[in-house]
């Protein structure tokens, strides 16, 4: 059967059909809500409601310097999606404390605006992926809009703030002690430098070099290091993962980027050559199991979506184009490492969103 042929009619269960239709209605509402959350974040609607005081559309418009027509519709949409509550007797809307923590508190481990922002940016570029899917071409990370880049940092920085210093690094054999004494660290695929700066702040005796192929991200990373007061111990370089600078590193890190690489095995070989004899390679990847059925859950669904629209096209745009996929799973990451000459591989930690791998020569 070709794509233009009409399939043979099959028996339809009308109840199942309508069940699916209403599920699809919910999906459309959720899709539109991604843009509405970004709107609420950027216009300050959530922050204006963060103290839990019930508000009318007119009051929210006045507090945020926006138009009441928009706050009226936005609040109603948020109430329909259970992001805010609505009191029909007073006509007022309230942001519950839990939603306020997730939508307004950057220090919360559940802070979500970056997740919505990267999703919003990713779908805005989906038309380019449609063309690439027909041709087999890729689409580089650098070609995406700023919401993809900024949202990615905001989302993953939440994970790093919550887990990197207190859990992930201590889970690695002897690494935290080395960092305390003073170690050489390379953060490969560092993006805006959130992970690099966080480690530099926690371990003032160590030195760090972050690298990324995207010059725009490196420019931002340098500014972030200067703002954080760690510029004397942190440098950033524009370089691919297969050619990042330095040798004899005690620790090399890759945060949520290995699956994006066109040649992850080549990058792993570069890591092997750049590590000290007793060095450690820390790889943090999206949470995934080894089988498709392991990942058929809400987190896997989101990551498969990003894989289709963002990460797989990024890999295909590069040399080799292995396209591991965002849900590669431990077995495929282990295969990359062992092919490159590493002999020790273990899962050191996990979160609902991440697998943390310790890899050694």
| pLDDT tens column, 44-103 | 999 999 999 999 999 999 999 999 999 999 999 999 999 999 999 999 999 999 999 999
Whether residue 99 sits in one domain with residue 132: no
Q: Give the integer Cα–Cα distance in Å for 130 and 148.
A: 17
Last residue within a domain, chosen from 103, 127, 146 = 103
Q: Give the integer Cα–Cα distance in Å for 30 and 39.
A: 14
Q: What digits encode the pLDDT tens for the residues 138-156?
A: 999 999 999 999 999 999 9
pLDDT over 70 at 8, yes or no: no
Whether residue 283 sits in one domain with residue 190: yes
Whether residue 263 sits in one domain with residue 173: yes
Per the structure, the count of domains in the chain is 2
Contacts of 177 (CB under 8 A, 6+ apart): none
Whether residue 325 sits in one domain with residue 231: yes
Q: Are 46 and 40 in contact (CB under 8 A)?
A: yes
Last residue within a domain, chosen from 53, 80, 103 = 103
> Per the structure block, which two tokens stand in for 216?
């725009």
In a domain, residue 70? The reply is yes
Which is nearest to 334 in space by CA: 346, 323, 324?
346
In a domain, residue 343? The reply is yes
In a domain, residue 110? The reply is no
State residue 168 phi and psi, 5-degree precision.
Answer: -70, -50
Q: Give the integer Cα–Cα distance in Å for 215 and 86.
A: 46
- Label residue 331 by pLDDT band (50, 70, 90): very high
Whether residue 125 sits in one domain with residue 71: no
Whether residue 285 sits in one domain with residue 143: yes
Neighbours of 319 (CB within 10 A): 11
CA atoms within 13 A on the CB side of 318: 26
pLDDT over 70 at 38, yes or no: yes
Q: Which CATH number goes with the domain that contains 98?
A: 1.10.10.10
Whether residue 66 sits in one domain with residue 41: yes
Whether residue 84 sits in one domain with residue 35: yes
Q: What digits encode the pLDDT tens for the residues 271-290?
A: 999 999 999 999 999 999 99
- Label residue 9 by pLDDT band (50, 70, 90): confident
Q: What digits encode the pLDDT tens for the residues 262-274?
A: 999 999 999 999 9
In a domain, residue 8? The reply is no
Which is nearest to 83 in space by CA: 152, 119, 120, 30?
30
Helices 97-104 and 14-42: crossing angle, nearest 10°? Answer: 60
Q: Which CATH number goes with the domain that contains 126?
A: 3.40.50.150
| 338-344: Cβ within 8 A, 24+ apart | 339/265, 339/268, 340/265, 340/268, 340/269, 340/271, 340/272, 341/269, 341/272, 342/268, 342/272, 342/281
Whether residue 92 sits in one domain with residue 232: no
In a domain, residue 109? The reply is no
Terminal Cα distance for the chain, rounded: 51
Whether residue 184 sits in one domain with residue 80: no
In a domain, residue 88? The reply is yes
pLDDT at 283 (0 to 100) = 98
What is the domain extent for residue 90?
Answer: 14-103
Last residue within a domain, chosen from 103, 133, 168 = 103
Whether residue 123 sits in one domain with residue 85: no
Q: Is 125 helix (H, G, I), strand (E, B) or coil?
A: coil
Strand-by-strand arrangement of the 249-255 sheet: 234-238, 207-212, 184-188, 249-255, 275-286, 354-360, 344-350
In a domain, residue 7? The reply is no
Whether residue 183 sits in one domain with residue 94: no
Q: Give the integer Cα–Cα distance in Å for 347 and 230.
A: 30
Q: Are 79 and 115 in contact (CB under 8 A)?
A: no
In a domain, residue 291? The reply is yes
Residues pairing with 48 in the sheet: none
């Amino acid at each position: 059967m070709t794509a233009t042929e009409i399939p043979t009619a099959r028996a339809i269960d009308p109840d199942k059909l309508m069940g699916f239709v209403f599920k699809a209605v919910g999906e459309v509402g959720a899709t539109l809500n991604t843009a509405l959350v970004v709107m609420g974040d950027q216009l300050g609607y959530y922050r204006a409601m963060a103290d839990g005081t019930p508000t009318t559309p007119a009051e929210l418009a006045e507090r945020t310097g926006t138009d009441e027509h928009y706050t009226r519709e936005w609040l109603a949409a948020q109430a329909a999606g259970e992001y805010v509550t609505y009191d029909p007797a007073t006509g007022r809307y309230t942001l519950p404390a839990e939603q306020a923590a997730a939508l307004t508190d950057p220090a919360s481990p559940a802070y979500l605006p970056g997740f919505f922002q990267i999703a919003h940016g990713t779908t805005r570029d989906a038309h380019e992926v449609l063309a690439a899917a027909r041709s087999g071409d890729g689409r580089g990370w650098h070609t995406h809009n700023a919401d993809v880049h900024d949202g990615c940092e905001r989302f993953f920085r939440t994970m790093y703030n919550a887990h990197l210093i207190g859990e992930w690094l201590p889970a690695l054999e002897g690494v935290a002690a080395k960092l305390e004494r003073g170690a050489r660290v390379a953060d490969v695929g560092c993006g805006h430098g959130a992970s690099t700066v966080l480690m530099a702040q926690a371990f003032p005796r160590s030195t760090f070099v972050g690298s990324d192929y995207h010059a725009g991200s490196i420019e931002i990373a340098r500014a972030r290091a200067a703002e954080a007061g760690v510029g004397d111990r942190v440098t950033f370089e524009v370089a691919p993962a297969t050619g990042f600078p330095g040798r004899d590193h005690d620790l090399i890190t890759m945060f949520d980027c290995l699956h994006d690489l066109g040649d992850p095995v080549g990058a792993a070989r570069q890591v092997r050559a750049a590590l000290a004899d007793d060095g450690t390679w820390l790889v943090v990847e999206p949470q995934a199991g080894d089988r498709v059925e392991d990942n058929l859950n809400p987190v896997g669904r989101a990551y498969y979506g990003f894989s289709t629209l963002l990460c797989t096209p990024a890999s295909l745009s590069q040399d080799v184009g292995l396209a591991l996929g965002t849900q590669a799973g431990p077995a495929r990451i282990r295969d990359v490492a062992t092919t490159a000459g590493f002999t020790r591989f273990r899962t050191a930690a996990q979160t609902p969103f991440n697998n943390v791998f310790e890899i050694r020569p």
